[in-house]
Structure 1
């Protein structure tokens, strides 16, 4: 997410230098020493982005993911283990209605918690916010729906809390590493970047980061929101299809 120097070779060779980067001065001297005196120097303007500003959208998204997956996953498995779901089977309640109710209750709780954490972090760190708060809230809402749907899918048939915990950890670890929460994936192998696009947390982090740091609008993050919507519907429908009451 930080560029020290950008060089353009063309009819008018030029280079852009990042004065805020510690190695920017050294790179400029290396360019001059290697015969690059004819390159035209151009000034880069813009606000400096702190690492805390860059990493905070990922941390908040990761916190939401953990709360959604483990919160709803363990509850469903515990209901099944205690026989509560078996009693609900005798009612007219369908699996989809039950999962939607669980999603709604967890969604309200997660949005309240995430909003509180966001306000607290903003008060302490005074981080950068360039975009719309309403769009950021909608993005977080859609991301939470996707994560809850994934948690419901995992818990749809499992009756053991130990197995549920293992599967949830198996899901969260790749997302924690490959979704760009702590570091950028630029420069990694193309396969890693492609695999990251298959993870819902990647689209949530990229959307939130684009809104907060770049002031992105709805059309800019529409592909990410569309993917999150499709994932949410797929997880929920598959979970309702394979859901086991007993």
Structure 2
């Protein structure tokens, strides 16, 4: 074959290949922008994330220290009395004050360096500090400097110590990471799959059988519950091999709190899948449910000191109670009685969500 003809054939082949690639490229783009739900979600998600972080943390300067305020409201007085040395300390803007209702819990946080200092402003005032905490030492000097001027309110605060090893961020975050893994597996494991069953006609065929919607949903719940518990066990075992994290509570209590949390998340996924026909829309709604829970449930950062509105919204998130319960068991050594409120709330939410899912479910 002449060289010129060979070059022509190769050029024609390259043009044909380019046309095929261009055709697939155009078809995929059309598929993407014709999927209105997916398109809107891809554009809306980053904006929602930015707005969510601004809503949670609010505006203003960043604080340098974290002080627990025993039996207080966690805020510094707007107009501190000049004659009250404790109020002068509370007015320091570089300190974030966190309300603490139980002295034992606050002292434990000081020992683990989760709080730089714990202050009881009631007369006679006291404070707890970890001598090994650098931030605690600085705050102690600020407090003693503010209370060095004699006043009619009595002597300087009484010093108490709370010693203990610092709790690493990995140790603190691990219960939340396990809960996050459980949440994603539960939501997508049933929500996305059931929608696919409906789209492929599987549910239409099941409708012709004596199977009731509640029976079908219960089978989905039990199957996914077994899967998420086994996967969580594998993740926990892997983390135990790689990290020296604390596990101070009862394994039975930890198992029960994760079972309750999984039931709640699976039921929530079934509500999403009750009537939807496309996986793309289900994926968008599941993301819309999961990301606020990640941001407002204390998975990656503590909700202490965040805005009041963010803390109020976090009480509606089932993931929050799962994270709180697991963290209390693993870090604080809580037993069944201590996590009973979180366990009861998760089970109550699960029962309500299962009833709603059964009511909304449609085969077609």
Tell me which interval the TM-score lies in, with the shorter structure as reference length. over 0.9
For the residue of structure 1 that corresponds to 2:131, the secondary structure is coil
Counterpart among 164, 179, 184 of residue 302 in structure 2 = 184
Aligned pairs (5 A) from 1:78-117: 78-117=196-235
For the residue of structure 1 that corresponds to 2:134, the secondary structure is coil
Structure 1 residues 28 and 169, CA, compared in 2 at 3 Å: closer, same or farther? same
The reply on whether 1:198 has 2:198 as its aligned counterpart is: no
For the residue of structure 2 that corresponds to 1:99, the secondary structure is helix
Aligned pairs (5 A) from 1:47-62: 47-62=165-180
Gaps of 5+ in 1: none
Aligned pairs (5 A) from 1:43-192: 43-192=161-310
Rg larger in structure: 2
Q: Decide whether the 8 Å contact of 1:142 with 1:225 is kept in 2.
A: yes
Deviation (angstroms), 1:29: 1.9
For the residue of structure 2 that corresponds to 1:7, the secondary structure is strand
Match of 1:29 in 2: 141
> 1:180-207, CA deviations, whole angstroms, 9 ceiling, x for partnerless residues?
0001111122222121111110010000
Deviation (angstroms), 1:10: 4.0
Match of 1:6 in 2: 118
Match of 1:208 in 2: 326
Runs (4+) of structure 1 moved beyond 6 Å?
Answer: none
Q: Decide whether the 8 Å contact of 2:297 with 2:320 is kept in 1.
A: yes
Gaps of 5+ in 2: 1-108, 149-154
Q: Decide whether the 8 Å contact of 2:195 with 2:276 is kept in 1.
A: yes
TM-score (norm 2): 0.65
Query: How many residues are matched?
Result: 246
Q: Decide whether the 8 Å contact of 2:132 with 2:163 is kept in 1.
A: no
RMSD: 1.5
> 1:142-174, CA deviations, whole angstroms, 9 ceiling, x for partnerless residues?
111111111011101001111101100000010
Match of 1:226 in 2: 344
Q: Decide whether the 8 Å contact of 1:20 with 1:48 is kept in 2.
A: no
Compare relative contact order (CA 8 Å, sep 6+) and give the higher one, 1 or 2. Answer: 1
For the residue of structure 1 that corresponds to 2:304, the secondary structure is coil
